[in-house]
Amino acid sequence: MELAINFSPQAAQLLADRKIRLDRFKCPDWPDMIEEARALLPVYVHFPLDAGTISGRPADLDAVDRMARDTDTPFVNYHLVAYARDFPDVPADTVDEAVTEIVRERMIADVSHAVERFGADRVIVENIPYFGAGGLYVRASVDTAVIRDVVDATGCGFLLDVSHARIAAHYLGVEPRQYIADLPVECLRELHLTGVSPVNGKLADHMGLEPEDLVWTRWTLERIAVGDWARPSIVAFEYGGVGKPFAWRSDAAVIERDVNALNELLAAT
Determine the residue type at 96: D
CATH architecture for residues 2-267:
Alpha-Beta Barrel (3.20)
Residue 90 is predicted with a pLDDT of 86
Cα atoms found within 13 Å of the Cα of residue 196, Cβ hemisphere only? 21
| Core vs surface per residue 130-151: b (16+ CB within 10 A) or e | bbbeebebbbbbbbbebbbbbb
What is the SS3 assignment for 123? strand
Residue 80 is predicted with a pLDDT of 98
Determine the residue type at 257: R
197 Cβ contact partners less than 8 Å away, ≥ 6 residues apart: 203, 204, 207, 210
- What is the residue-level pLDDT of the chain in tens, covering all 269 positions? 999 999 999 999 999 999 999 999 999 999 999 999 999 999 999 999 999 999 888 889 999 999 999 999 999 999 999 999 999 988 888 888 999 999 999 999 999 999 999 999 999 999 999 999 889 999 999 999 999 999 999 999 999 999 999 999 999 999 999 999 999 999 999 999 999 999 999 999 999 999 999 999 999 999 999 999 999 999 999 999 998 888 889 999 999 999 999 999 999 99
Cα atoms found within 13 Å of the Cα of residue 220, Cβ hemisphere only? 27
End-to-end CA distance of the chain: 9
Residue 98 is predicted with a pLDDT of 94
DSSP strand E in the chain: where? Answer: 2-6, 24-27, 43-45, 50-51, 76-80, 123-126, 157-161, 188-193, 195-199, 202-207, 234-237
CA separation for the pair 208, 237 (Å, rounded): 9
Q: Report the chain's C-alpha Rg in angstroms.
A: 18
Determine the residue type at 236: A
Indicate the domain borders of the chain: 2-267
- How many residues are recorded in the chain? 269
